[in-house]
């Protein structure tokens, strides 16, 4: 079973889209394993986005992610990393497929609502950056067989 980090970024929180984003992930069949609203520190922002340091949009990205609260979550399920990224759509909302969150709710790459881990390695390091082990809940989804049962 895979776990992945999902952030509803400040634009998603301010625009009242936390519920819509959670609903889409729940309805897809993914399981919420951890969640908290955080005012992101400059240190956490720079650690999380270290890979983008030096890019033209980096300082703006740090300003944006620390500008207002972020809803940080851990989602779990079979192939959760690729499933969540598929539900989010392309990083640039103008290139995201219809029906994805970024297509349906956004228009700008600088205000693209969400972040989702892009690989098992990054998911593991991002989850440990944002959550302590005690903040992640191990529970059974009672609909599991209805979602993933094999014939
Ligand atoms: P995210 O998935 O959080 O990962 C890095 C973020 O950088 C990305 O979403 C966007 O918010 C932002 N980003 C990526 N490319 C650009 C760009 N060309 N201009 C502005 N912001 C960008």
Domains, the chain, in order of start with CATH, read 2-87+116-148 (3.30.70.141)
Q: How far is the CA of 75 from the centre of ligand 1 (A)?
A: 21
Give every CB contact of residue 110 below 8 A, 6+ residues apart in sequence. 57, 60, 64
State the pairing for strand pair 31-38/70-77. antiparallel
Q: How many angstroms separate the CA atoms of 90 and 92, rounded?
A: 5
Ligand 1 pocket mutation, candidates 73, 112, 118, criterion most atoms within 8 A of CB: 112
The helix or strand, by DSSP H or E, that contains position 83, with its residue range, turns out to be helix 80-88
The candidate with the shortest Cα–Cα distance to 36, out of 138, 139, 105, 134, is 134
The candidate with the shortest Cα–Cα distance to 51, out of 144, 117, 133, 5, is 117
Reading phi first (left if > 0) and then psi (alpha if -120 to 50, else beta), residue 99 is in left
pTM metric for this prediction: 0.97
The response to whether residue 91 sits with its C-beta less than 6 Å from ligand 1 reads: yes
Q: How many angstroms separate the CA atoms of 37 and 39, rounded?
A: 7
Q: How far is the CA of 55 from the centre of ligand 1 (A)?
A: 10
* Residues assigned a catalytic role: 115
Ligand 1 pocket mutation, candidates 64, 91, 122, criterion most atoms within 8 A of CB: 91
The response to whether residue 57 sits with its C-beta less than 6 Å from ligand 1 reads: yes
pLDDT in tens, the chain (151 residues): 999 999 999 999 999 999 999 999 999 999 999 999 999 999 999 999 999 999 999 999 999 999 999 999 999 999 999 999 999 999 999 999 999 999 999 999 999 999 999 999 999 999 999 999 999 999 999 999 999 999 9
Secondary structure letter of residue 143 according to DSSP:
T
The pLDDT value recorded for residue 85 is 98
């Amino acid at each position: 079973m895979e776990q992945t980090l999902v952030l509803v970024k400040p634009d998603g929180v301010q625009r009242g889209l936390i519920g819509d984003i959670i609903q889409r992930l729940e309805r897809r069949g993914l399981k919420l394993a951890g969640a908290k609203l955080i005012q992101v520190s400059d240190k956490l922002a720079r650690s999380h986005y270290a890979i983008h340091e030096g890019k033209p949009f980096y300082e703006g990205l740090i300003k944006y992610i620390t500008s207002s609260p972020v809803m940080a979550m851990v989602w779990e399920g079979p192939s959760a990393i690729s499933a969540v990224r598929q539900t989010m759509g392309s990083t640039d909302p103008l290139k995201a497929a219809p029906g994805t969150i970024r297509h349906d709710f956004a228009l700008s790459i600088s205000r693209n609502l969400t972040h989702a881990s892009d690989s098992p390695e990054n998911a593991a390091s991002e989850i440990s950056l944002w959550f302590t082990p005690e903040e992640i809940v191990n529970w059974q989804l009672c609909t599991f067989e209805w979602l993933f049962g094999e014939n």
